[in-house]
């Protein structure tokens, strides 16, 4: 048995909202959803090194259903669940509430102390509940969640190394005595683990130009452009795509 103590880190803020897509619902007979439908394909997510809105280093997308989801005693439908891990160690089990009037209606169980036992159990001690919605104030165009001190725990079971998570359960009580409960059942599909990679603006620009150059060369071949005309064709293609030729 190993114990970990993580230092605090600022909350994930806008990345949570943009990371969710696809329906999962709490209650009886909810529809199943594939992990690939709940996040962008691939295991790497690149963000600008200077972007302070992104302070996490890992996203885990679970495939399955919310069997139970209650907030402040109210049963709510959920459309997706993800795990976020901050650069400094703070972690979040985050649920997107299925609210047609508010795509940013989100709740997170969050904590800094975690424990992993062998390969089949991960526990996160909850010390905060984060509540976000369209009614929350904005700071730099990003809605800031309400952070409520809380006590509780989240347990994730299954084969962690193979990403075959079977279930996630969370219970917590905030400082006002309001209770929160989650029972998530996986559907047998592996979890999708994405690593956040921070890169400089220059590297991102070079990557963009290389991608555009590859596309333009392919277009030249498909259009059967003569070799003597290919350079001018590719230059025009890059300029039409908003990529400076001398970058």
Structure tokens at 93: 């089990």
Structure tokens at 68: 């139970």
**Predicted local distance difference test score (pLDDT) of residue 92:** 94
pLDDT band at 213 (very low <50, low <70, confident <90, very high): confident
State the Cα–Cα distance between residues 131 and 245, nearest whole angstrom.
Answer: 46
**Percent of the chain's residues with pLDDT above 70:** 74
| Sign of the Cα pseudo-torsion (142, 43, 9, 102, in order) | positive
State the Cα–Cα distance between residues 26 and 77, nearest whole angstrom.
Answer: 4
pTM over 0.75, yes/no: no
**Predicted local distance difference test score (pLDDT) of residue 14:** 43
- Which residue stretches of the chain are H helix? 14-19, 201-222, 227-240
**Predicted local distance difference test score (pLDDT) of residue 148:** 95
Q: Which residues contact 8 (CB under 8 A, 6 or more apart)?
A: 88, 89, 90, 112
Is 69:181 a contact under the CB 8 Å cutoff? Answer: yes
Residues 174-199 pLDDT 10s: 999 999 999 999 998 998 888 877 66
Q: Name the least confident of 44-48, 194-198, 229-233.
A: 44-48
């Amino acid at each position: 048995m190993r114990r970990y103590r993580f230092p605090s880190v600022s909350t994930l803020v806008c990345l949570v909202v943009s990371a969710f897509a696809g329906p999962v619902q709490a209650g009886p007979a909810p529809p199943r959803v594939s992990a690939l439908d709940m996040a962008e394909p691939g295991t790497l997510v690149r963000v600008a090194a200077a972007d302070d809105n992104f302070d996490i280093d890992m996203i885990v997308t679970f495939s399955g259903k919310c069997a139970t989801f209650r907030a402040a005693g109210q049963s709510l439908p959920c459309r997706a669940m993800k795990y976020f891990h901050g650069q400094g160690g703070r972690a979040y089990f985050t649920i997107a509430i299925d609210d047609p009037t508010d795509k940013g209606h989100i709740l997170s169980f969050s904590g800094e102390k975690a424990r992993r036992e062998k390969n089949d159990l991960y526990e996160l001690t909850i010390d905060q509940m984060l509540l976000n919605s369209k009614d929350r104030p904005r700071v730099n165009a990003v809605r800031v969640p309400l952070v409520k001190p809380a006590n509780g725990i989240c347990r994730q079971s299954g084969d962690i190394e193979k990403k075959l998570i079977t279930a996630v359960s969370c219970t917590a009580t905030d400082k006002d005595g309001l209770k929160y409960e989650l029972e998530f059942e996986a559907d047998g599909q592996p979890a999708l683990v994405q690593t956040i990679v921070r890169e400089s603006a220059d590297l991102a620009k070079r990557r963009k130009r290389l991608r555009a150059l590859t596309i333009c060369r392919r277009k030249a071949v498909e259009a059967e452009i003569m070799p003597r005309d290919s350079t001018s064709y590719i230059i025009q293609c890059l300029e039409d795509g908003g990529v400076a030729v001398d970058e």
